[in-house]
Amino acid sequence: MIVIQATSQHVPVIAKMAAETFVENFGQYFTPENLEAHVAKSYTHEQIQADLDNGEQVYFLCNDADVEGLNPLGFCQTRRKDPRQVSPELSVEYPQPSWEIRRCYVLRSSQGKNAGSLLLEGVLSRVKEAGAKTVWLFVLDENVKAQRFYEKFGLANTGHSFTYMAGPHNLLVKQL
């Protein structure tokens, strides 16, 4: 398996995978109408291309020996952002620059096959190479499985909670 940085050629596969994995993981938290509206707004080809074009977001793909990345097993969206920009009541300052792991999803059929671990290791390595001093993310409060996964890579639960779309989320942080 390999991790590559996504380009415009990957927009269709990211859009498809993002919609599929979001529905798999969070569909139960939304009414069908709200779920459809969120997916239609957030995971369009146009939105993902705009994310890539503005230079603030970086997507990574985990592929099973597919160097072109057209059949990814998972993806991760990152951006350079201070957690206080998302949650202004957060009083702790973290070393800058900070990078947010905004979305990190693996297809259900690829879970348990080390794709998520390889993807996260690749992302942590790449953002560190880009100068990150801190990496962080919000994880749904009740998603204990995901929290344990991220903790294996040194992201620690800060005890700070933030309510976003599907409910309360915990802030996990790692200083690099």
Peptide bond into 97 cis (omega under 30): yes
Provide, rounded to the nearest whole percent, the portion of the chain with pLDDT above 70. 97
Residue 133: phi, psi to the nearest 5? -105, -25
Which pLDDT belongs to residue 136?
A: 93
| pLDDT digits 0-9 by tens, 20-32 | 988 888 888 888 8
Per-residue tokens: 49: 């291309």
Position 84 scores a pLDDT of 81
pLDDT averaged over every residue in the chain: 88
Q: What is this structure's pTM?
A: 0.88
Q: Does position 86 have pLDDT exceeding 80, yes or no? A: no
Give residue 154's pLDDT.
Answer: 96
Residue 113 has a pLDDT of: 85
pLDDT of 103-116, one tens digit each? Answer: 899 988 888 888 89
| Sheet arrangement for strand 2-5 | 2-5, 57-63, 72-80, 98-106, 134-140, 167-175, 156-164
Report helix, strand and coil shares of the chain as percent, to nearest 5: 40, 30, 30
The pLDDT of residue 65: 74
Tokens of 158: 């800060």
Beta bridge partner(s), residue 80: 99
Q: What pLDDT is attached to residue 129? A: 93
Is residue 79 scored above 80 in pLDDT?
yes
- Tokens in use for 30? 């939304």
End-to-end CA distance of the chain: 24
CA–CA distance, 82 with 94 (Å, rounded to integer): 8
